Amino acid sequence: EPEVTQTPSHQVTQMGQEVILRCVPISNHLYFYWYRQILGQKVEFLVSFYNNEISEKSEIFDDQFSVERPDGSNFTLKIRSTKLEDSAMYFCASRKGAGELFFGEGSRLTVL
């Protein structure tokens, strides 16, 4: 069964460092998303991406964040200069059209 895959599963970084989280969405999907979940809190929307551009972003997705689809398969989230409060589980998701949204297992980011 096709699935969304994310790497790394866990990354530990120093405050101020750049981090890139990678996602491979399901191959025939067209809409891509990043969400995050701070420990013990709700899942929060970061950004949606369609047709090679950002379609919507939340207040959380400030200038420190960027997304890219560098080739036909990968979808990346970059955090330019990490802060302690960026520590969270980051989830990638994709869907084909107006249907079901599929999530990856998440990348846990720990900022020290």
Partner 1 sequence: KQEVTQIPAALSVPEGENLVLNCSFTDSAIYNLQWFRQDPGKGLTSLLLIQSSQREQTSGRLNASLDKSSGRSTLYIAASQPGDSATYLCAVISSRLTFGEGTQLTVNP
10's tokens: 């866990």
Residues 53-92 that bind partner 1 (CB under 8 A): 56, 58, 91
> Which residue, 66 or 102, is less far from partner 1 as judged by CB?
102
Site for partner 1 (CB under 8 A): how many residues?
21
Does residue 33 bind partner 1 (CB under 8 A)?
yes
Tell me how far apart the alpha carbons of residues 109 and 12 are, in angstroms, rounded to a whole number: 6
Task: State in angstroms the smallest separation of the CB of 91 from partner 1.
Answer: 6
DSSP conformation class of 36: E
The one-letter amino acid code at 107 reads S
For the chain, helix, strand, coil in percent to 5 are 5, 50, 45
62's tokens: 């400030």
Segment lying near partner 1 (by CB under 8 A), choices 20-28, 37-45, 65-73, 80-88: 37-45
DSSP conformation class of 83: -
Interaction site with partner 1 (CB under 8 A): 33, 35, 41-45, 48, 56, 58, 91, 93, 98-106
